[in-house]
Each structure stands twice: as structure tokens, then as C-alpha cells.
Structure 1
Amino acid sequence: MNLKWRYLKQNLFLGAATLCVLAIVLSLGGILYYIFLNGFQAVNWEFLTSPPRDSMTKGGVFPAILGTLYLTVGAILVALPLGIASAVYLTEYARQGKMIRIIRLGVNCLAGIPSVVFGLFGLGFLVVFLEIGSCILSGALTLGILILPTIIGASEEALKAVPQTFREASLALGVSKWRTISSIVLPNAMPGILTGSILGIGRAAGETAPIMFTAAAFFTAKLPSSIFDEVMALPYHIYVLATAGTRIEETRPLQFGTVLVLVALVLGIDLIAIVIRSRMRKRKRW
């Protein structure tokens, strides 16, 4: 009787877990299908390669695509080195104690702060105090700070997952600690670090509030010539079309088309990171 009850509980748990997975997959599939159904008619070559025109009721989103790429790549270039360096220090060098626990608690708290707070920080510190102005640099730095806690957390977990015996064997051969970290620990932890980077890329590309205050322009047909220029960005462009446009209902296909382009862009960047991660894992096996 007891064995039957255990099997029943196991089957119930397995069924509940399966239903949860199906609900998530169906919800995601439904959202993507709805976006594709309403947006694919607006997406064509002209839409992808031309700027908006006629009060953004016609034309395309090319400046917004380019601006989103600039901001996302800039955020990764800022956050990835800082995040990895911070994780290496916290995991490999820092003496574990109360202070390190407080630092980790602060990092975890930063990961849960609303993005609009980071946007206001970028506005007050970067745009106003440092007088950088509203530009690509301010937006990339703000987004980099936004995703930094995620990358630090993922990098720490990846570094901790590397077996301690790897470090001990290297140090026993007389290799310096930094050489051990750079040649043994980091290469083995890099696939896990890239997993956190993928999450950061998705968040950086889709955020509206931080770039609204620090980088995004309402409209500009001019492509940026330096990191000190304002840019259009897909998330903010969607917000403008859906809330602040002159003819919101008429631009509904453009709204869904822009959303579809943003989703495809994020998935494309994530796919590149996944391919790089897979190749690193294959090299590690060999």
C-alpha cells in the first residue's frame, strides 16, 4: 500500500510538471504566433531598409534596428568584462566572509530593481552630471549596468561549477594562480558564463525605460556617426507607435511588424551566442 502511494505521488508530480511545461510552451507559442500573424504582412525589404516617414505612419525601421544593435552590443562590451572580472574576484580571490556575503546580497538586490530606476540613474549621473548627453554611449553604459548583476551571478555559478581539483592540479605543477584562472578555470566556465550573457542580451535589447532617458530619439532619419549621437531603438519605437503616434490604429500593422523584427533580432543575437557556447563545449570535451 505504501509503495502504491509512492508511485501515485510520483505520477501526480510528473503529471503536474508536464502540465506546467506544456502551459509555458503553449503560452510562448501562442504569443509568437499572434505576433507573427499580425506583423508578417508589414515586414518586407523596404520595411527593413528604409527610415520611417509621414509622421511614422509609413516607411520602415532601419534606423531603429541599427540603434538597437549599437546599444545591445555596447551594453555587452561594457557588462561582460566587468561581470567576469567581478565574479573572478568574488570567487577566486576574495576572502569569504561577512563583507562578501553583503556584496553578493547587493548584487542580487540590483538584479531585481526595476529598469526605470536604472534609466533615472543614467539620466542623472551620465547624461546630466557627467554631461555625456543623450547618446549611444549613455544608453550602452546604462544597459550595461542594468545587466551587470545577471552576468555576475551567472559567472559566479559557472566558476564554482569548475572542479576544485583542476585548480589544485595546476597549482601543484607550479603554475601561478592567475595563469590557472585564465588558462584552466575560465575556459571551462565560459559556456556557463555565456548562458548568463544570453539572458543579458535579451534583457538589454528589449528594455525601453533605460534608453528612453539616455539614448533613444523620438524620430531621426539620420544614422549615427559616433557614439555621442542619439539613435532610434526598436523598443522605444514600439512604445511611440502604440501610445504617442498621431494615428495609432492606422499604424497597428507597423507596431506588430516592429515587434516581430525585435523578437527576430533578439533570437538572432541569442542564436549566435548559443552557437559560440556549443563550440566551446565541444572544445572542452576534446
Structure 2
Amino acid sequence: MPIEPLLILELAALGLATGFLAGLLGIGGGMIMVPFISAMLGVRGVAPGLAVKMAIATSMATIIFTSMSSVRAHHQKGAVRWDIVRALAPGIVGGAMVASLGVFSLLKGAALYFVFASFVAFSAVQMFRGKKPAASRQLPGTAGLLGAGGLIGFLSGLVGAGGGFVSVPFMTWCNVAIHNAVATSAALGFPIALANVAGYIVAGHGLHDLPPHSFGYLWLPALIVIASCSVLMAPLGARAAHALPVSKLKRAFAVVLIALALYMLGKGIAALGG
């Protein structure tokens, strides 16, 4: 079945917008992608519970591509703490697999709407306040980093995010310089995305009622178009950040995120009732 031209245009617009905003404001694209992808799938007859799962999985898959370009730029500046990446990665992969292969499949779609709405609302409040967590200690030992990695991978798998909403505050709390924390979080996005996407594909294999061009829980048209467009626009957004009042833009965008959180909350209530 051919892909409708209108769908390609919608996905391209979403990819351009998320890529630009990610570069401009340093936000994860999943906060925007998931509500819109779930709405696009809903219009095409996909049940709400399945739509939100596919939106979360597809959003996560785009991080595989966007993280590679981001990490390259950070690595060239020597900002990535690869020692932290190596220490957190095993826990991240384990937590991600538990989320994507187990909990994600077992949770009802309505519950995922509520989880995602809570995540977006929390991120919006943090963005509006503009506060950074106070640094108070050093990084924990091997067991502590394994546990922290597991939590980052698990939470990321439930909401389709790259983990920066947990890993950056964790690292800055442990006295890692903010520019190193952001760069290292970008590098962690790759194993987070890879492990979760593998789980989403296996968990969604053989499901009935999947829309055309699906691979497990992944919706391939959205993945290909959004990833291509967002990779193009992220550098432009990063450049614009130096010319625009980013702190004011973040507060304005936080209001938009609250609206998206309320939308997802409403969808969750509707799915619960259905």
C-alpha cells in the first residue's frame, strides 16, 4: 500500500519542527512527537492504546539517528565523558529491555498516556522554572552507576525519550560539569534507543491490527521521514540558540508542553473509558 502524500508532508513538518526545537531549546523530540504521531495513527483508524505505544516506540527509534550526529559534534569538542558512558551503559541496556520487552507490553495504553502526560508536565515545570539541580556529591561506585543506568533506561523506555530528563540532573547532582553532562547524555541516547527499539520490535512482533508499514511497534514511515528531517534541522536550531532569547522561549514552550500534557491526559481518560 503506497504512503499518502499528505502523510509524508505531515511527518516532514513534524520532523522539521522537532529537530529545530531540539537544537534551539535542548529538549527531547519525543515530548512533541508522541502526541502528534499518536493523533496521526488515531485518524487512520488505529486504536488509542496501540497508537500511543507505536508513537512512543517510533519516537525512541528516531533517537538512534539524531544521537549519532549530536554525539559527533560533542565528541569533537572533547565534552563526552566516555568513562561515565561505559559505566552507565550496562544498567541502561538492562533497564531498557525490562521496560520495552516486559512492562511496556503489559501496560494498557491508557496507563501509558498517563505516564507520558506526567513526564511532559514535569519537564515543562522544570523548563519554566529554569533551575538546575544543585551539585552536592561525586558519582557513586559501580553498583550505584549500574542502578542509575537501569533507572534511566527503564524510564526512557516507558516514555520514548532519550534519557536526558534523568541523566543530566543525575550527573550535575554528582558534580559533573553541565556541558559534560549534556554531551554525555547525548552519547547515552544511542544505547538507550538501540536497546529499547530492539525490545519494541520483539514485543510487537505478530500483533494484529497494526497499520501498514509497521515493524513490531515501529511505524516505519514516521521513523524515516521524521528522522531525516530532524537531523537536518537540529544544527539550524543550535545556531539560532545563539541569536534568540532562549530563556524566554523555553518558558513560552513550557506552556505548549502543558497543553500537550493535558491533551495526552484527556486521551488517557478517553482510552480508560473505552
**Where on the TM-score scale, by shorter chain, does this alignment land: which range?**
under 0.3
Query: Which protein, 1 or 2, shows the higher relative CO under an 8 Å CA cutoff with sep ≥ 6?
Result: 2
Relative to the length of structure 2, the TM-score reads: 0.28
User: Highest Rg: 1 or 2?
Assistant: 1
